[in-house]
Amino acid sequence: MPTLHPLLTKVFQGPLDLNGPVLGRLFYLFEYARSYVEERWEAFDARFGTDTSAPTFERNQKTSVHFYVPTTASVIYEILNSLALQPGKFTFVDMGSGKGRAVLIASEFPFKKVVGIELSEQLHRTAEQNVERFRPASQRCTAFDLRCMDALEYSYGDEPLVLFLFDPFGREILREVIANLEASLRSTPREAFLVYVYPQYEDVLKSSPLLRKMKVGGPKWQPWSQYVVYVASAADRTHELRREEEAIV
């Protein structure tokens, strides 16, 4: 994406930001209508007795942290069904987990553990309540770890992981999240998938030396349901080390 003039950048990061005080409210109304229609169609909350559908725009909402919008349930199922996951091996981590819809759906897959990271105390409490209510016969993982914390302070474990992002942050925070992931993968080389729904800052992922694009999906007429999947593996890390060694020589 071309770089804007600094003055224009300030303008679009201010009142006209889609997550800001003016357009953010209009965008919220659109998302509210969208999520209402999707819930009528997919009936995720109606089927499970949960509360994940309604968007939430908090009073002290920061423009760098996007307001809560639910990921379309069918899109999450589509993505996770497309991943080759060894049962009991991978950890699922949702950065900006909100009310926990992605975390709930992930528990229907054979993950070792399901983690939700959310900064908002209000959304975190709702997610905890949803976890208590969500008991489908299809549930395959009951090891939940919901944390109310800054995503930049999260420390990854040593196990393979699926990192899930539904446009939770602005570009700068996303860049730091990816940098933290890269540091973890360099320290402990292992397989990792990065799922990014509504990838408006995908250039951050493209610039990573450890990640390579594996999949693109979602209907073109629904930008909020479009997604990309990137993958990193121990073999990729080995190749990177070889390139670094060759560069030194």
* 201-236 exposure pattern, b = at least 16 Cβ within 10 A, e = fewer: bbebbeebebbeeeeeebeeeeebbbbbbbbbbeeb
The model's pLDDT over 187-245, given as tens digits with 9 standing for 90+, comes to: 999 999 999 999 999 999 999 999 999 999 998 888 889 999 999 986 555 455 455 54
Q: In what order do the strands lie in the sheet with 227-232?
A: 144-148, 113-118, 91-95, 161-166, 192-197, 227-232, 212-217
The model's pLDDT over 90-116, given as tens digits with 9 standing for 90+, comes to: 999 999 999 999 999 999 999 999 999
The model's pLDDT over 8-38, given as tens digits with 9 standing for 90+, comes to: 444 444 444 445 555 556 667 888 888 889 9
* pLDDT at residue number 13: 44
* pLDDT at residue number 236: 57
* pLDDT at residue number 35: 87
DSSP alpha helix (H) spans, the chain: 6-12, 23-42, 44-48, 73-81, 101-106, 121-133, 171-187, 202-206, 234-248
Domain extents in the chain? 59-243
| Beta-bridge partners for 234 | none
Nearest alpha carbon to residue 108 among 72, 141, 80, 74: 141
Answer yes or no: is pLDDT of 57 > 80: no
For the domain 59-243, what is the CATH superfamily, name and number? Answer: Vaccinia Virus protein VP39 (3.40.50.150)
Distance of alpha carbon 36 from alpha carbon 39, whole angstroms:
5
